[in-house]
Chain A
Amino acid sequence: MSTREDAARDKEARDAADIARFRRLAELDPADPARAALRGELVADHVDLARNLARKFDRRGDQLEDLVQVATIGLIKAVDRFEAERGNFYAFAIPTIMGELRRHFRDTGWAVRVPRQLKELHVTVAAGRNELSQRLGRAPKPSELAEHLGLTKEQVYEALVASAGKQGTSLDARLSEPSGDRFGYEDERLAEVDNRRALGPLLAELPEREQRIIVLRFFRGLSQADIARRVGVSQMQVSRLLAKTLERLRAALGEDTLAG
C-alpha cells in the first residue's frame, strides 16, 4: 500500500468527518453553547487553509499576519454559510476566503498620500474599466478609457500609475527579500519546499488550458469570472476545471496541504 493511497484515504475520511460535523452544526440551536464550541472547532481546524491562502496574497512578505486575519474572517464566513449538502467544504471555503482577501485589497486605503483629485480620478477610471470590460468582453485600453470617460490619455495614465500607490512598500521589506543576506531568518516556507519542487513538473504535465487557469487563478489572483472571460469558457467550467485540477495535483502530491 503506497503512502499516496494512504493519504488519499485519510483525506476522504477527514472530508467525511467534516461533513458530519457541519450537519451537526446545522442541527444545533443557535443559542446552544455546544453550537458555538463546534463552530470554533471547525474554524480552528481549517485555519491552515486560511493561512495558506493568505500567503499567496502576501507578495511583499511583510503583511502576512494582517492577511491571515482577513483570511480567517473569510473562513468564519465560510463555516457559517456552508451547507453540508453542497459536498466538499474546501471547494466552498477557498473562493470565500479568496474573495475576502481580494476585497481587503480593494477597500483598504491608500498607503501613499495621493492628491484628492487623483483619488477621484482613480475611482472614475476604475468604474470606467468595469463598464467597458462588460461592454467589450475584454479589458479596455487606456485610449478607450479616455474616450469613454471624456478624459485625456495623460489623465488616464496618471490615474493608472496612481493606483499603484494604493499599496506602498515598506523600506524594511527589502530586508526580508529572499536574496537579502543582511539578516538571518527562518524561512517560513521551508516546509513547502518539497511540494513546490514537486509541483513544477506536475504543472507542466497539465493540459495547456488547465495550466493557464491555474496560473491566472493563483499567480495573477483573478476571479473565476475573469478567467472564464479570458479563457473563453463559462465560469461554471472554470470552477469545475479548477476543482478537478487541484484534486489531481493534490492526489499526485499525496497529501492535502495544497489547499489553495
Chain B
Amino acid sequence: MSEVGTSPVVRAHGVRAVEVKVFADAEQVPLLRSFAADIAMRLDFDLDAIEDLRMAVDEACSLLVRAAVPGSALACGFEPGEQVITVRVGVDATGPTPPSADAMGWQILTTLAQGVTERVEPAGGGHRVTIELTSGPAGIDSP
C-alpha cells in the first residue's frame, strides 16, 4: 500500500497539498520525512527549518507507527501555506494512549515544530490517533 494524491488546486509557491498513505511500518517513515523536506524546500523554507521539519515529521510518524494496529495504514497529509506547512498524521491505534505519553518523543517533537496538537478519538470500535504539526521558515529559531 502506497498511495499519493495531490490537490487539484495549487497552493503557495506552486506547491499542491499532498495526501500520502503508506503501511504503518517504521521502514516507511523515511519516505514521509523526505516528502516533508522536499515540500518545505519548494516552499522556500530556510535550510534549518527544512531540517527541523524533516526531523519533526520523522518523530511524529515514529510515535504513531509504534501505536498502530499491525498491518494498518499511516495517513499523512501535507498542507502548504504562505510561510507555513501543516502536517497531519493519523493511524488506527490498538489503544487510546495519546502520543504525548512518550515523554521523550513528545519533547523532541514539540521542540522541533512550532505547534503540535494530538487527538485520540474512538473510531469503528478502535481508536484513531492523530498528530497535527505546523512549521514555518521562521523555524524554532525566531530570534
Contacts and interface: CB of A to CB of B under 8 A. Distances in A.
A, B co-complexed: yes
A129 B47 CA distance: 9
A142 B140 CA distance: 18
B83 to A, nearest CB: 11
A13 B123 CA distance: 57
B140 A157 contact: no
Contact of B47 (A140, A174, A200): A140
Contact of A199 (B47, B104, B141): B104
A167 to B, nearest CB: 12
Contact of B111 (A129, A140, A142, A215): A215
A9 interface: no
For B47, B49, B103, which residue has the most chain A Cβ atoms within 10 angstroms?
A: B47
Interface in B33-53: 34, 38, 41-42, 44-49, 51-52
Contacts of B55: 219-220
Contacts, number: 76
Contacts of B141: 138, 229-232
A138 B44 contact: no
B112 interface: yes
A215 B27 contact: no
Interface string B24-38: 011100100010001
Which size class do A's interface residues fall under?
Answer: 20 to 34
Interface residues of B, number: 31
Contacts of B102: 200
Given A179-B25, A231-B141, A220 B107 contact: no
B27 A174 contact: yes
12 contacts: A138-B141, A141-B44, A142-B41, A179-B26, A179-B27, A200-B104, A203-B103, A203-B107, A204-B103, A219-B55, A230-B48, A232-B141
Interface of B: 25-27, 30, 34, 38, 41-42, 44-49, 51-52, 55, 65-66, 102-104, 107-108, 111-112, 137, 139-141, 143
